[in-house]
A = this chain, B = another copy of it.
Amino acid sequence: MRKFYEELLGHFKEACILEEVNMFLYWDRDVTMPKKGGKQKAEQVALISKLEHERRIQPRIGELLKIIQTHKEYENLSDLEKRNIFLIQRQYHKLVKVPADFVGEFNKQGVIANEAWEKAKDQSDFSLFQSELEKMVELNKKYVNYLNPEMDPFDVLLDFYEPGMNQEKFERLVNPLKEVIEPLIKKCLESNYQPNKSILTRKVPLEIQKKLNFDILNVIGYDLERGRLDETVHPFTTGNYDDVRITTKYFEENFLSAIMSTMHEAGHGEYEHYVGKNGRYQPVGMWCSDGVHEASSRFYENIIGRSAAFWKYYYPKFKELTGDIFVDVPLEDFVAVINRAEPSAIRVDADELTYDFHIILRFELERDLLNDRIEVKDLPEIWNEKMKTLLGYEVKNDAEGVLQDIHWSDGLMGSFIAYTLGNIYGTQIFSKLKEDITDWEKETEEGNLQKVLNWFRVNVFEKGNIMDSFDLVRDITGKEVSSEYLADYLTTKYSRLYKLK
Contacts and interface: CB of A to CB of B under 8 A. Distances in A.
A25 interface: yes
Contacts of A225: 34-36
Contact of A40 (B32, B35, B243): B243
A228 B32 contact: yes
A75 B40 CA distance: 33
A217 to B, nearest CB: 12
Contacts of A153: none
Contact of A21 (B25, B224, B227): B25
Given A24-B44, A36-B226, A39-B242, 6 more contacts: A14-B47, A20-B40, A21-B25, A34-B226, A35-B225, A40-B243
Interface of A (DSSP majority class): helix
Interface size class of A (residues with CB under 8 A): 20 to 34
Given A40-B241, A243-B37, A243-B41, A47 B18 contact: yes
Given A40-B241, A40-B243, A241-B40, A21 B48 contact: yes
Contact of A242 (B21, B25, B37, B241): B37
A107 B226 CA distance: 26
A25 B48 CA distance: 13
Interface in A1-39: 14, 17-18, 20-21, 24-25, 28, 31-37, 39
A24 B17 contact: no
Contacts of A226: 34-37
Contacts of A31: 32
A51 interface: yes
A43 interface: yes
Contact of A24 (B20, B28, B39): B28
A227 B36 CA distance: 8
A50 to B, nearest CB: 9
A43 to B, nearest CB: 6
A25 B44 CA distance: 12
Contacts of A40: 20, 241-243
Contacts of A32: 31-32, 228
B241 A34 contact: no
A44 B20 contact: yes
